Amino acid sequence: MNTLEQRYKRTYQLLFLLVVMMTPLSGMGVDIIAPSTPSLTEFFGVSKQSVELIITVYIIGYGIGQVLTGVLSDRYGRKIVMITSSCMFIIFSLLVAMSQTVEAVILLRFLQGITVAGSAAVSRAIVTDSFTGEQRKKVANYLVIAWGIGPIAAPLIGAYFQTNFTWQYSLYFLALYAFLCISVAFLVPETNNKKSKNIKSATKNIYHIIKDKYFMTTVSCAGLCLANLYSFNIFTPYIFIEKLNIGMEKLSFAILIAGSGWLIGSVLNRALLKSISDKKLILHTSLYSIVINLIAISTVNLENNISLYIGSSLTTIVLSNLSFTRLFSICLGLHPDKAGVAGAMTGTFFILVGGCTALLASVSGINSLAHILTVYILTTLLIILITRSKAHSEEMVKGEVK
């Protein structure tokens, strides 16, 4: 291998390291705070609802910030936007830790969410800029694995700091982690070689992407896959504790199993990349998920068979991840000339669809384990209906031929 080849290899290794490091940061900002919410209520002397806003406004800021940073990275470049937004994230993280009022924390958490979006949106854009074809699928799979680590590791880290130190140390950890990411970002080259002429032209890309029906249906399906994970995480604690009187130890075990299922799906997908097409994999995993949950629902006394519920949920989450990873990769490859905005829109929409689906399920009244499994079935049926439609199916086949 000559010197030039070694340099190219090192560059791609650094780019890969950067996007994998950056990907979990946004999710960690949510989950690392969750174990401290009871303590925050006491610390600030406010209601539970006020403390819940600390998490909610971060997610809202994260959604808004992805589109903003995506547009800016298309205009000015990936590197400068990623480094600037990450530096601001560090500042806001430290300011949150030093705040003495819940109002200040809520405002700063919103700004923290906007700035952390740069790590997520720009990472996806770098993948589109730098990798193609099967290579992009492999990298996208690693991104999903990295993203899945956050919901498992962050609550454990937050609980450790809350038990042994104070809630502020979780913010110090986020700031330190972002600093390490910035250190790597300085080492990589700029990947956006087709910058937009101005902000107006970059903003127009949003309109063009929304008009792309294949992109919108694909990202919607990715969101429906994510809704299964959200539904488990949102509804299981309530039913376990309030309805079935199951303790925190078993609940923690169940959540750990679910998070592991997301990672298992990512690992399996990597092994299946060359052996099964996107179209077949999404159809088969969806059908298997529906059959498994129908069998579980038909079981007598499901509410007393926690192992069956956890097993069915684990299988559903593994299968959902298999489909999600393929759909995620498709979205990243559809608009390489608008990679910043496309990556941002991908993240914004699949989080929006996943969150809204879980919200609709909540409004409908989820009061049993069977209801949660029913949500899995309905979301998966929607995925089949969308991906099997003639227009979507033909576009998917064309993409695989390319």
Give residue 301's region: left, alpha or beta (phi > 0; psi -120 to 50): left
- Strand ranges inside 151-256, DSSP E: none
Handedness of CA 352, 353, 356, 362 (dihedral sign): negative
**What is the token pair recorded at 3?**
């010197």
Pick the CATH number of 210-401 from 3.30.1130.10, 1.10.3470.10, 1.20.1250.20, 3.30.930.10: 1.20.1250.20
Interhelix angle for 102-130 vs 37-44, to 10°?
140
**What is the token pair recorded at 323?**
């489909």
Residues of the chain with pLDDT under 50: 4, 401
DSSP 335: -
Q: Can you give the pLDDT at residue 6?
A: 65
pLDDT per residue as tens digits for the range 360-391: 777 777 888 999 999 999 999 999 999 888 66
Contact by Cβ (8 Å): 351, 64: no
Q: Can you give the pLDDT at residue 248?
A: 59
Q: What is the rounded CA–CA span in Å between residue 171 and residue 159? A: 13
Other C-beta atoms lying within 10 Å of the C-beta of residue 136? 18
Q: What is the rounded CA–CA span in Å between residue 375 and residue 218? A: 20
Q: Can you give the pLDDT at residue 130?
A: 85
Task: Tell me if 3-133+150-185 shares its fold with 210-401.
Answer: yes
- Is residue 345 packed enough to be buried (19+ CB in 10 Å), middle (13-18) or exposed (0-12)? buried
Q: Where are the domains of the chain?
A: 3-133+150-185, 210-401
Q: Which fold has domain 3-133+150-185?
A: Growth Hormone; Chain: A; (1.20.1250)
Q: Can you give the pLDDT at residue 312?
A: 93
**What is the token pair recorded at 250?**
């078993």
Q: Can you give the pLDDT at residue 398?
A: 60
pLDDT per residue as tens digits for the range 101-113: 999 999 999 999 9
Beta-carbon contacts of residue 181 (< 8 Å; ≥ 6 apart): 18, 21, 22, 25, 86, 119
